[in-house]
Amino acid sequence: MCWTSQVEVFIKIIVAQTTNPTELEPSAQLVASVNPSIPVFLQPVTPLEDSGAFKQPPMLAPSPNQVLNWQAMIKRFVKSVRVVPQTHKILNQL
């Protein structure tokens, strides 16, 4: 399995304002059941400027308070939980 191999693994979870925290806890438990040392990265969604072009409601970024609460909750199960922005928009690749 991954914890005995030489492969580095991590989990990335993209979160939005509408992310249901009851879905995040089982995700954290699943990661911890494999290895609580696997790092988890929470990545707030980057809202698209023209979300109407996709005919779906816009995805809004979560509030800082939401992200901090989710980070603390996941940290109960795994050792490393980081919050990282989506950099592709900053790099003008979207």
In the chain, the number of structural domains is 1
**46 within some domain:** no
**What's the pTM?**
0.80
- Provide mean pLDDT across the span 8-29: 94
Q: How far apart are CA 69 and CA 73, in angstroms?
A: 6
Domain hosting 74: range is 59-94
**41 within some domain:** no
For residue 40, what are its two tokens? 């988890």
Q: How far apart are CA 62 and CA 70, in angstroms?
A: 10
Residue 91 has pLDDT above 60, yes or no: yes
Tokens 């009851």 label which residue?
22
**84 within some domain:** yes
**21 within some domain:** no
What's the pLDDT score for residue 53? 58
CA 43 to chain centre: 4
**22 within some domain:** no
For residue 19, what are its two tokens? 């992310």
- Provide mean pLDDT across the span 13-18: 94
**93 within some domain:** yes
**33 within some domain:** no
Task: Establish how many alpha carbons lie within 13 A of residue 73's alpha carbon, considering only the half-sphere containing its beta carbon.
Answer: 17
How far, in Å, are 43, 83, 85, 94 from residue 90 at the CA level?
A: 14, 16, 9, 9
What's the pLDDT score for residue 93? 64
83 forms beta bridges with 42
